[in-house]
């Protein structure tokens, strides 16, 4: 799962989760951001593609490293 969180003053206001597939807001400002970002196809598709860029590309490397250390 890929999670991208946005914080201000130690308070999470918006999060993208690959399992949900969209941005979710936790504050009034975060809800506005999430609504805007979910309606912009390029931002949403970029966030969805980040799972493949970060997670799927590196999972085998991380998995092999964990198995050799345990």
Domains located in the chain, CATH noted: 3-68 (3.10.320.10)
pLDDT score, position 22:
95
Task: Give the integer Cα–Cα distance in Å for 50 and 64.
Answer: 22
Task: Give the integer Cα–Cα distance in Å for 42 and 2.
Answer: 18
Task: Give the integer Cα–Cα distance in Å for 20 and 1.
Answer: 10
Give the chain's largest Cα–Cα span.
46
pLDDT score, position 65:
74
pLDDT score, position 7:
97
Task: Give the integer Cα–Cα distance in Å for 6 and 8.
Answer: 7
Q: Residue 11 forms beta bridges with which residues?
A: 8
Provide the whole-model pTM: 0.77
């Amino acid at each position: 799962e890929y999670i991208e969180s946005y914080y201000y003053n130690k308070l999470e206001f918006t999060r993208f989760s690959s399992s949900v597939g969209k941005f979710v807001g936790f504050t009034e400002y975060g809800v506005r951001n999430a609504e805007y970002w979910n309606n912009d196809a390029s931002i949403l598709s970029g966030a969805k593609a980040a799972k493949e860029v970060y997670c799927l590309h590196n999972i085998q490397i991380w998995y092999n490293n964990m198995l050799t250390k345990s």
